[in-house]
Amino acid sequence: MLKRVRVETDVLVIGGGSAGLIAALAAEKQGADVTVICKQKAGKSGNTIVSGSQFCVVVPEEDNPDSIEAYYQDLIKSGKGINQKELTSLLAHESGKTIKWLEDYGMKFFIREDRYVKRQPPGHSFPRSVPTVWDGYSYLARGLSFLDPLLASIIEKNIRIIEKTMVTKLIIKEGKIAGALAINMDNQEVLEISCKAVILANGGAGNLFAQNNNTAGITGDSYALAYEAGAILKDMELIQFYPTMMIKPLKMPAENALFGDGAVLRNTHGELFVQKYVDGGEMAATRDKMSQAIFQEVQLGNGVDGGVYFDCTGIPKETMETTYSHFCEQLRKKGTDPLKDWMIVTPTTHYYLGGVKINTKCESSIPGLYAAGEAATGPHGANRLSGSSIADTVVFGIISGESAAQYSTESERATVPWDDEVPCLSLNTDGKTSIKACKEAVQGIMWNYASVVREEKHLCQGLQMLEEIAEQLEQVSIQHGKELFSYFELKNMLTVGSLVFRGALERKESRGSHWRVDYPFEDQEYLGNFEYVQENGDCSIAFQPLSERMVKN
């Protein structure tokens, strides 16, 4: 029997990664009582830990040839025109200001000759990728250099942290947020949380797919919570695939900034091939186009072990030994010298472009419910530029925290009859279906039927398979209490996976990261966004053309 514990707070932040920690700090600064709740350890949750720990901003420096307008246009071009433009504008305008905000909380950035070091990943018109100082951190976990200062500030501010706890349901009363239910399996507790505002900052859904470079636990929780609460989701068919996930000599991302210094892709014959698919080659290829180029080359029989060669030998030795010293160190541990040898890379599931629909205050369609980071959608459209994810978490993390804190001062806490809500944790434990096997089956279905390449017949088959697995949930076998986490993750994966298939079937075109081989071209009729909402237990999907879009500000 799980023990019941009541928690009261003004602002509940769900997620312990960069968006969540930043939102919590911003809300606390406005005077709100804040609680952070996360499935893993705070500061080690989410995908920031495995990021490149660099973010693209227009640095406010004299003589900087870059501009906010140039950044905005790059984002719009990358997003294939279906960005929520007011959010894209916010990202471009506010990102540069966040450097000082982060430095005030202890963040350190590489500075050379009194100027921020800036790199230029593909798709960006100017060098604007600013890295943190990650000396002393593992190359594969250098995102900790971004997270550790934020966590230290959270602790210093005495912000309440509840770890290893999963939120399973948002409570809505009188049409607005009233609280949440969560389970903590270490303490065998059901948490009944009463709050005035909730910020969803618990990331995307990379672990829906068998091949991904996300951390464990990124299972679409933010989307499922919002969807089941009645909030509007948007663009759930759009998922970005990272083009250069290294598979040999070891598994790790080959960062896109390397292309800016001379890295190239080659097929099994040693030929440069990206130019065949994208005018301008590697530096003009955004992540969607590069992933598709690699996939097509492999399909033609020109691949290597399911991928292509990643060649850094054209990068000057001094640049490799200084700018990319950690990268070189990891490879040399495996007997590979990037100055002489080629690696093998392949696309993998990376970032969820869809999510909770928000406005410029990070408000969802439910009063009191906010979203930030990968939980939300809008600024990136149908594709995301390298380095813009962390910029997104900072800009919208701050805005969501400030907005939720302000809302909490104007809202009264609702009275929640908790006894009516707890039965959602009751499970049938008599069956023999394995949760682990079901999760692996879902991941395989999503990768095989809804990843880089999509086609109607495969989408229909995949959706039917998910529905068959969902029917088995009534017979899931729970061997011990800790499997409750896995059960709710599986439930969320099925919810979100179904939305992916349904949306991919609706968007009968190819745009950005969404590639339909049976509809291989962009279609002006689909210049807009699909919105998803649960109505009477069923999914309702409506297309919103850009010309008709109404956004609450």
Structure tokens at 4: 């019941």
Specify whether 412 is located in the same domain as 368: yes
Number of domain units in the chain? 3
Q: Is residue 406 located within the same domain as residue 497?
A: no
pLDDT in tens, 420-442: 454 444 555 555 678 889 999 99
Cβ of 523: how many Cβ atoms within 10 Å?
A: 12
**Residue 549 reports pLDDT greater than 70:** no
Residue type, 24: A
In a domain, 532, yes or no: no
Mean pLDDT of 391-407: 98
Q: Where does the pLDDT of residue 551 fall: very low under 50, low under 70, confident under 90, or very high at 90 and above?
A: very low
* 194, 364 Cβ separation under 8 angstroms: no
Q: Is residue 533 part of a domain?
A: no
| 172 shares a domain with 89 | yes
- In this prediction, residues 330-347 reach a mean pLDDT of 96
**Residue 551 included in any domain:** no
| Cα(401)–Cα(193) distance, integer angstroms | 18
Rg for the chain (alpha carbons), in Å? 23
Please name which of 334, 326, 402, 389 lies closest in space to residue 362, comparing C-alpha atoms: 402
Domain end among 350, 367, 397: 350
pLDDT digits (tens, 9 = 90+) for 371-380: 999 999 999 9
Residue 53 and residue 145 in contact, taking contact as beta carbons nearer than 8 Å: yes
372 lies in the same domain as 481 = no
- Measured CA to CA, the distance from residue 299 to residue 297 in angstroms comes to 5
The answer to the question of residue 234 being in a domain is yes
Which whole number is the average pLDDT over 311-324? 95
DSSP per-residue string spanning 459-507:
HHHHHHHHHHHHHHGGGB---STTHHHHHHHHHHHHHHHHHHHHHHHH-
Token pair recorded at residue 164:
């290893």
Q: What is the mean pLDDT of residues 62-89?
A: 95
* pLDDT confidence of residue 434: 82
pTM, to two decimals: 0.92
The CATH number of the domain holding residue 427 is: 1.20.58.100
Same domain, 409 and 456: no
For 456-497, what is each residue's pLDDT tens digit? 999 999 999 999 999 888 776 665 556 788 899 999 999 999
- pLDDT at residue 144 tops 70: yes
Q: Are residues 409 and 313 in the same domain?
A: no
Same domain, 367 and 317: no
As a whole number of angstroms, the distance between CA 1 and CA 15 comes to 26
> Which of 418, 443, 458 is at the close of a domain?
418
Tell me if 300 is assigned to some domain.
Answer: yes
- 291 and 156: one domain? no
Q: Are residues 399 and 508 in the same domain?
A: no
CATH of the domain at 29: 3.50.50.60
109 and 184 belong to one structural domain:
yes
Q: Which two tokens stand for residue 547?
A: 């010309």
CA distance linking residue 509 with residue 474, whole number of Å: 37
Domain membership flag for residue 55: yes
In the chain, the amino acid numbered 176 is: K
51 and 123 in a single domain? The answer is yes
> Which range marks the domain in which residue 43 is found?
3-238+352-418
| % of residues, the chain, pLDDT over 90 | 80
552 is a domain residue: no
pLDDT digits (tens, 9 = 90+) for 13-42: 999 999 999 999 999 999 999 999 999 999
- Is 331 contained in some domain? yes
Report the alpha-carbon distance of residue 19 to residue 6 in Å, rounded: 25
Q: Are 273 and 281 in contact (CB under 8 A)?
A: no
Q: Is the peptide bond before 149 cis (omega within 30 degrees of 0)?
A: no
For residues 219 and 202, is the Cβ–Cβ distance under 8 A? no
**Across residues 398-420, what is the average pLDDT?**
85
Write down the pLDDT at residue 430: 53
Same structural domain, 101 and 181: yes
Last residue of a domain, one of 324, 350, 376: 350
